Amino acid sequence: MTTIDTSAIKKGLCIMFRDAPHIVVEKTFVSPGKGSAFYRTKLKNIKTGNVLEFTFKSGEKLEEAPVEVQELQYLYCDGETLNFANPRTYEQFSLAKEMASDFFPLMKEGETYQVYIMDNQAVAIRPPLKVRLLVTKSEPAVKGNTVTGATKEVEVETGYKVQVPLFIKEGDIISINVETGEYVERG
């Protein structure tokens, strides 16, 4: 089991919390004005699906959950279920779409992702730091029409919409930070 510090908490990580494995669904840095740093999290129990909120002091120690990770190919989404296969053994796995939460809009059929497996069931996805996706729709920028001066909105191949610099055009491959959902770089 790996011990990690609160600063290593990130969305998608599977940690032990009060003796049960939990997926980190949300993480925000909190500094209560005249006080020390804290991390506010939303944790989903991967056995029961219950979600709870907990605020950690900066510096608390956590254990990564003893959950197996397999590289699985994402095949397709069928309603509320995501279907995966192990590309070597062809073993099939299914996962409730809600367990992918914020990562789902960035998932591309045919890609390989790390999936947490417990008791031979897929329980959650361990999202990568960033994903590379093709820009499929890009409108010319309208001056003054966006909140951040020098950006515009584009759509990538999964349907996800993201703010990018003005030089990005249809057909470009861009990298998106999974944690923040924001554009990182071209290529």
Partner 1 sequence: MMTNKEIFLIKAKVLKAIREFFANEGFLEVDTPTLVLSPDPCPFNEVFKIEGKNLYLTTSPEFYIKKLLSAGLKNVYQITKAYRDWQEKDPLHLNEFTILEWYRHNADYFDLMVDCEKLVNLVFERLHSQVQNSKCKVQNENEKLKIINYQGKKINLSAPWQRISCKEAFRKYANVDLDKFMDINYARKICQQKEYQITENNSWEELYHQVFLNEVEPKLPKQQPLILYDYPAPLAALSKIKENGPNYAERFEFYIGGLELGNGYSELTDWKEQEKRLKADIETRKIKGMKVFDYDHEFIEALKSGLPKTAGIAIGIDRLVMLFCDAADIHEVTPLFL
Q: Which residues bind partner 1 (CB under 8 A)?
A: 18, 28-38, 40, 53-57, 60-61, 144-149
Q: What is the DSSP string of 76-135?
A: EEETTEEEEE-TTT--EEEEEGGGGGGGGGG--TT-EEEEEEETTEEEEEE--SEEEEEE
Could you tell me the two tokens for 126? Answer: 């361990």
CB 22 within 8 A of CB 16: yes
Q: Which is nearer to partner 1, 61 or 88 (CB)?
A: 61
Cα-atom radius of gyration of the chain, to the nearest Å? 18
Q: Which is nearer to partner 1, 88 or 143 (CB)?
A: 143
Adjacency order of strands within the sheet including 61-64: 3-5, 61-64, 14-17, 20-30, 38-45, 51-57
Q: Which is nearer to partner 1, 30 or 85 (CB)?
A: 30
Q: Which is nearer to partner 1, 34 or 88 (CB)?
A: 34
CA 6 – CA 57 distance, rounded (Å): 8
Provide the minimum distance between the beta carbon of 162 and partner 1 in the complex, in angstroms, as a whole number: 13
Provide the minimum distance between the beta carbon of 83 and partner 1 in the complex, in angstroms, as a whole number: 33
Q: Which is nearer to partner 1, 111 or 165 (CB)?
A: 165
CA dihedral 114, 1, 22, 86 (to 10 degrees): 20
Strand partners of residue 45: 22
Provide the minimum distance between the beta carbon of 54 and partner 1 in the complex, in angstroms, as a whole number: 6
Provide the minimum distance between the beta carbon of 48 and partner 1 in the complex, in angstroms, as a whole number: 18
Q: Which is nearer to partner 1, 29 or 76 (CB)?
A: 29
Provide the minimum distance between the beta carbon of 151 and partner 1 in the complex, in angstroms, as a whole number: 10
Provide the minimum distance between the beta carbon of 130 and partner 1 in the complex, in angstroms, as a whole number: 16
